[in-house]
Structures are given as structure tokens and as C-alpha cells.
Amino acid sequence: MEQIEHKYVKVNGLKLHVAEIGSGNSPVVVFLHGFPEIWYTWRYQMIAVAKAGYRAIAPDFRGYGLSDQPPEPEKTSFLDFANDTLALEDALGISKAFLVGKDFGSIVISRFVNLYEERVSGFIVMGVPFWPPHPLKFKDDLPEGFYISRWGEPGRAEADFGRLDVKTVVRNVYILFSRSEVPIANENQEIMDIVQPSTPLPPWFSEEDLAAYGALYENSGFKTALQVPYRSLHEQFNITDPTVHVPALFIEGKKDYVLKFPGMEDYINGELKTLVPNLETASLPEGNHFVQEQLPDEVNQLVLDFLTKNSKPQ
């Protein structure tokens, strides 16, 4: 971990915190986090790809971790995150990169590839597959207590989270999202109350890891994190053809609760293959929503195999 360097890069009027490791002249891999994650979620993958000769870069999105808050968090969008990624590459002199995303970071990559495919050598997503620019429908078929519906309601998550310290919020979300069941609260229950205080952390997630996440969210809070992704999922994009042709890999944890969203399996086995014709899928039978932290050795090997296969000689 100590070999990972940290700096700030001015992007679209904001300072983004960027973690980096590897030679400046190497092929670049940009890692984009989800929620409740941060750059730190990629610690194992960054070190692995750097050892293999790549330059690994992992920013905190605007409003997350050590990056600046946007002036109007409630107006922040997936498009902002995609454009920040482009501006970050420009600021660092990167003409083309591999992109690796997890959870809503996969949606940021989807927008980026649709808009700037010429800047992408290939992409890897996990937790959530490539998603075209139309609203998510599965919410309509899940109960009112579905966590995305609850957190999409302005003020609801703020009140729920506000009863607890930041570290406990992150702890509860990690526990909830590690399970194979979709997080759904009862009618008179808040999402944070689904987790009993005595529930242990997953065995692959240490108290030191929790402290690292807690400190980063102590700094940023959850204002932007609730806006993107949860209050931005309805965004519309004027993209006439969302098909992408760069090489792609979807790493699927078979015990990931996201696979139980209504219609998700049908989408993965149908429309997704049409939208991303050069897509490969790798399934990890024991993998949950946090495969990159839960099973780092397996994920690192899949990532390195993909990079090796799709890297042009320097």
C-alpha cells in the first residue's frame, strides 16, 4: 500500500484526489469505484497491474473521499463523472486507457465508452454490467423498501444515515451488499436497521479497511454519494446507437445480489451481448458484490489476462 502515491489533479474546476502506481510510460489502467467504495477498493488490483508493467490510476469521484465537493451536489450527474474522467486523462497526458469499473463505476464507464470510445483500449466491469443510456426499469418490480428506491428519495437516507457515525454506515452497507439477497426494508423499517449491530464484518474486510473507508467518508460525507448514483438513475442521454465495439470483460460474482434484480439475468444473456459484441464474461461461483476485495487473486488474474490479450506492444 505504501508504494501507491497520492496527488491532486485539477479537473473541470475541481481538485480530484488520485491514487497512482506504475511507470508513467506504461499502458494506463483507470479504476473507477462504486458506492460505498472509494479509490481504496482497488488497492489489490492497482498493485497487481503495476507489477505487471501497467500504470494504475484510481481517482475519488467529485464529492467522494478526498476530492472536492461540487458546488451543487444535488445537480451532479453520471455525465459529470464521465467528463471528469476524460478531463483527468487529458490533464495527465493520457490519450487512451483501459477502464475498470465496479458497481455504478460501471455505469460511468458505459457513458464514457458511448461518448469517447476512441479514448478506450478496452474495459472491465464488475458488480453491474455495461448499461445503455436508458432508465433502469427493475425498480418498478421491487417493493417500496428496495434500498435504491429509499435512497433515491431526498432526505430519507440522510435521516437514516444521520443516526449513526460514518464508519457504522459504511460497515452496514458492506455487510448488506455482501449478501446474496437484495436489500429490502420492511414498511416501517429503515435500510440501516436491516443489519443487526452484532453482525460481524465479512471475513475478507478488516477493521483496518473499515477505518480507511470511514476516514474518507468522514471527509466527504454522503451528499454527492447519494446523488450519484441513487438520484441520477433516471438521467436521459441523447445517444442514438449505444453499441460499443472495444474489447470488454464482465466479471460476474454468482452470489452477487444484483443478479436477482428483475430482468437482470435476461439482460445479461440477451441485450448486453448485442450492445457489446466483443464482450467476454467470467463467472466466479463464490463471488459476491465485492469480488475485487473478496477474491483479489482471482480477479487480478482475470484483469491481467484481459490486459495482456488486448494490449498493443509499446
The C-alpha angle 41, 86, 300, rounded to 5 degrees, equals 30
What are the tens digits of pLDDT across the range 99-131?
999 999 999 999 999 999 999 999 999 999 999
DSSP tag of 230: I
H/E stretch holding 293: helix 291-294
pLDDT in the model for residue 25: 80
What are the tens digits of pLDDT across the range 221-260?
999 999 999 999 888 788 888 999 999 999 999 999 999 9
> Among the listed ranges 28-32, 44-48, 140-144, 244-248, which one has the minimum average pLDDT value?
140-144
pLDDT in the model for residue 193: 97
Tell me the pLDDT of the chain averaged across its residues: 95
Domain coordinates of the chain in residue numbers?
A: 5-310
What is this structure's pTM?
0.97
Domain 5-310 falls under CATH 3.40.50.2300: no
Split at pLDDT 50, 70, 90, the class of 313 is low
Between CA 17 and CA 4 the distance in angstroms is 13
Percentage of the chain lying above the pLDDT 90 cut: 90
pLDDT in the model for residue 18: 98
Mean pLDDT over residues 164-182, rounded?
Answer: 97
Mean pLDDT over residues 156-173, rounded?
Answer: 97
Instruction: Using the predicted structure, report yes or no on whether residue 13 has a pLDDT greater than 90.
Output: yes
What are the tens digits of pLDDT across the range 49-62?
999 999 999 999 99
Instruction: Using the predicted structure, report yes or no on whether residue 314 has a pLDDT greater than 60.
Output: no
Split at pLDDT 50, 70, 90, the class of 82 is very high
Higher-scoring residue by pLDDT: 160, 240: 160
H/E stretch holding 272: helix 271-275
Instruction: Say if CB 178 and CB 140 are below 8 A apart.
Output: no
Between CA 256 and CA 254 the distance in angstroms is 6
pLDDT in the model for residue 1: 64
**Catalytic amino acids?**
103, 230, 289
pLDDT in the model for residue 235: 82
Instruction: Using the predicted structure, report yes or no on whether residue 134 has a pLDDT greater than 90.
Output: no
Q: Is 258 helix (H, G, I), strand (E, B) or coil?
A: helix
H/E stretch holding 173: helix 166-178
